[in-house]
A and B are shown apart, each in its own frame.
Chain A
């Protein structure tokens, strides 16, 4: 059967869209890679009730294709739909530093998933470092799990712009205040202009070097802190793989949409972090708006709310950039690509051989050729060659077995 709408990603955006679309009588399929709906944000919370939606969990969508009259969504089975909504969220952005490949170093999102999703306490003593407001809920999640959070280190310094943006979104301001109170009550220091610039340990993390940073993130005034866990997050990268497969226009790291979530490709909608990281409330609004582009007119209230949250997202983006000074944290032996164990030295050798851009560095030295296909190291490799990080086209959004791939070798697939 052909669905009216296939939604890929069951986070706040996808869940909202599926629910609203089903309520309006559309035949909806909702696919997600995980065994439970909710995505990163709602992971571990009670699953929402979805009536009239075909929920397909554990479906790792590896490709989407245009077909006559709609789209084919390939996971372990193929789903066809007239319209496609991509709500695949974002993944952690990290910058490399010496020792970041030691066990005990987690991404901020990974630490939260471990606690909220798997109910695993990652360690006894943690340092949370990186940039952006997401560091706060991660620290609180760790505290709630019984981890002693020794410090939260924000590499940037708060700007008046961010304060102004927060003031215009009272729900966000309240949320931030709540986290701040919780950290204060637990006597966790929140230091701006600081970062973890190295992790140390034999077989796993035993401590970190913390440095003060210049506004450009060059380190000075080092000290060490003992801990067995480090959670690092330098913002997020939208997961636009499926949208790129379909040829949707992107701008910077995110997909371009109009005010009703329509991408540049007919019939393809996008909502949530793939349109630019704005957090869960923005994702919910966009999920609803996406459905309105299919049936009826969007309520002006939703459009106004979206505009407000988008402005907030822009302020976030401007207030918590990743500055290039992290390149000074590295030594020649620092691993930049963990999958293929490519060091800074190997990348410098490739550059010496004439590799001037991320693609050529990848061809000569292999960063980004391994399991994660450059999702972890893409930002770093781009900046090490002086390029703006740009989304890469990946024919397989997820690894797939050769046996599963053969299922698409059929005449009726043409």
Chain B
């Protein structure tokens, strides 16, 4: 397993439970990349109808199971609240939720055998919230919003703890060193050349996040997208109860724009701080701080929660989200080399999608049929 982020840790956990012995290699140790710079979102609300939504719904169920059987990572089934500033946006949002619900039902028959595949990827729950009722959900939310939608399935974990706990619970060995290249014999990958010598394996999984595309022997079109998060001072009682975001976030997540996009995404953590996102920028591997972007995030946060205005922000961090050309993750066997599997390109949804990704990879390595149709995620689709 190349990578000890949430995807690598989840894969290690699922594989070890399936009886596969796993060694995880990461040059930075557990959660040192994108996993360590995110909010820990487990969302169905922001997913367009399609394969990613199916994966998200399956993952949502799996996260609930992991919280039970592993735990220790601040599982918060808090639900999401998406708000609209104007009646037009609210109409669009409501129509979007309707397509989410319809699609899922159609896909519910799914690729799997209905006897063995539980209706896990059941349905998106989205409940309209009238403007006058928004305060029932968020007492401190701004005046003048047109209304919103409540997504009770949305949840949050502390992502670094989740990766660390899953890795620990898996019992997999973690080797902290750089991976130099794949060991290849003919058209088969036989292991890894690392900074601490060669590791031989029957299968190699590439869960290297932002760097997953850079192996010269099996390149993938994975690139980083930069995002900032602001962290406020801790509150005794944080003023935000759900994950709250504006409709613009849904558009931005799916956007292909090169330039800077920001939308307000606000939530609190168990530590009492409030996390403020989200920005998206394509600037390579640069994680330098950009104060005008942070200022814009602050303005949008105050717009949604005026009570934050006089609160102090203590820190900010930039994370790189690895994305693919069609913004779908890359999961499955490599199309060039046998015994090599990819589990990468999850962009900003890696925490949410990790368990279902791990389930898919485990089935593929074992030669079984995945619970979710893997075809849309096949690495060969860019060839």
Mark A residues whose CB is within 8 Å of B.
63, 65, 74, 245, 340, 350, 352-357, 359-360, 363-364, 366, 369-371, 373, 394-396, 399-403, 405-410, 413-414
Contacts and interface: CB of A to CB of B under 8 A. Distances in A.
19 contacts: A74-B291, A245-B289, A340-B271, A353-B164, A354-B4, A354-B164, A354-B174, A364-B164, A366-B271, A369-B271, A395-B316, A401-B310, A402-B298, A402-B311, A402-B312, A403-B309, A405-B313, A406-B295, A408-B294
B168 A354 contact: yes
A400 B176 CA distance: 37
B29 A395 contact: no
B381 interface: no
Given A354-B174, A360-B31, A370-B234, A401 B291 contact: no
B164 A355 contact: yes
B31 A395 contact: no
Contacts, number: 115
Nearest to A372: B314
A406 B314 contact: no
Contact of B160 (A352, A364, A413): A364
Contacts of B308: 402
B230, B292, B301, most chain A CB atoms within 10 A: B292
Interface string B289-333: 101101110110110000011111111110000000000000000
Contacts of A399: 233, 312-314
A360 B299 contact: no
A406 B313 CA distance: 11
Contacts of A402: 230, 232, 276, 298, 301-302, 308-313
Contact of A406 (B231, B299, B317): B299
Contacts of B376: none
A396 B233 CA distance: 12
A410 B298 CA distance: 13
Contacts of A401: 309-313
A363 B234 CA distance: 16
Interface residues of B, number: 42
A163 B271 CA distance: 49
A373 B231 CA distance: 12
B32 interface: yes
Interface of B: 4, 29-32, 36, 160-161, 164-165, 167-168, 174, 176, 230-234, 271, 273, 276, 289, 291-292, 294-296, 298-299, 301-302, 308-317
B271 A396 contact: no
Contact of A353 (B165, B310, B317): B165
* Majority secondary structure of chain A interface residues (helix, strand, loop or mixed): loop
A408 B273 CA distance: 23
B4, B230, B291, B294, most chain A CB atoms within 10 A: B291
Given A63-B291, A395-B315, A403 B168 contact: no
A408 B30 contact: no
Nearest to B36: A363
A371 B271 contact: no
B31 A409 contact: no
A409 B299 contact: yes
Contacts of B165: 353
Contacts of A408: 291-292, 294-295
A109 B223 CA distance: 48
Contacts of B301: 402
Given A366-B271, A409-B296, A396 B316 contact: yes
Nearest to B72: A353
Contacts of B273: 369
A184 to B, nearest CB: 45
